[in-house]
Amino acid sequence: MNFTLKIWRQESASSKGRFETYKISNISDECSFLEMLDQLNEQLVDKFDKPVCFDHDCREGICGMCSLYINGRPHGNDSGITTCQLHMRRFKDGDTIVIEPWRAKAFPILKDLVVDRSAFDKIAQEGAYVSVNTGGIPDGNAIPVPKVKSDLAMDAAACIGCGACVATCKNASAMLFVSANVSHLALLPQGKIEAKERVTKMVAKMDELGFGNCTNTGACEAECPKEIKLSNIARLFREYYVASIS
């Protein structure tokens, strides 16, 4: 297969970026999107050009490092996947593919398609944890947890922190990410104890870092590689209101 790629190139955080157009040919349809970019980079290195920088690591859809806004969709034109799980068979031969970095005030571009998502870490550091030290812990079966709750908690905990929710949201809102963290812990008896403090601090941090607000468009849910549900955002609201009035 052959493709025309329009890729955002930007030297550094402070420099101005632009789109560059590249042609790439003889791509197998079984090839993953990132492997296609690997081949482009081989071409560029061959010409002594600088390869396109993009984040990636595990290449099996779990580390959350890969990003890329491809033809108007984070992680490309498929649902429930990360960019590394996108395969070229999802495109048509001869397609033009526009590749952009995640764009949000809270995710500044570092270079080309690489953005800084440490804002997510900062939000998590505000309270996405249970304050227990290592050791001196009761037996794992000491507190039974209803399977339904535990399963819901797992659904929320599946978040990989990739930032697709922010990237696709028209408001660059981090609400799905925050709600997944809050929901996961609020649903478990272990996390319940600090629930009020947690949600208050995390929401305050999220606001401070410049993420937008939620307007319930549902784009985040549609693009989340782990298919985290909007119901988590509703739970975030509830948790927050309860924490605020009590």
Strands, sheet with 18-24, edge to edge from the N-terminal-most edge strand:
18-24, 3-9, 96-100, 69-70, 73-74
**Longest CA span, the chain:** 64
Contacts with other proteins by CB under 8 A: the residue count is: 128
Per-residue x/- mask for other proteins, residues 190 to 209, rule CB under 8 A?
Answer: xx--------x--xx-xx--
Residue 29: burial class (beta carbons within 10 Å; 0-12, 13-18, 19+): exposed
* Choice from 68, 104, 195, 228 touching other proteins (CB under 8 A): 104
* Choice from 9, 38, 95, 196 touching other proteins (CB under 8 A): 38
Per-residue x/- mask for other proteins, residues 64 to 93, rule CB under 8 A?
Answer: xx---x-xxxx--xxxxx---x-x-x----
The CB-of-39 to other proteins minimum distance in angstroms stands at: 6
- Find tokens 């908690």 and name the residue: 153
Task: Of 61, 1, 72, give the one whose Cα is nearest residue 31.
Answer: 1
Per-residue x/- mask for other proteins, residues 119 to 158, rule CB under 8 A?
Answer: -xx--xxx-xxxxxxxx-xxxxx-xxxxx--xx-xx--xx
The answer to whether residue 240 forms part of the interface with other proteins (CB under 8 A) is: yes
Task: Of 106, 225, 219, 236, give the one whose Cα is nearest residue 184.
Answer: 236
The answer to whether residue 173 forms part of the interface with other proteins (CB under 8 A) is: yes
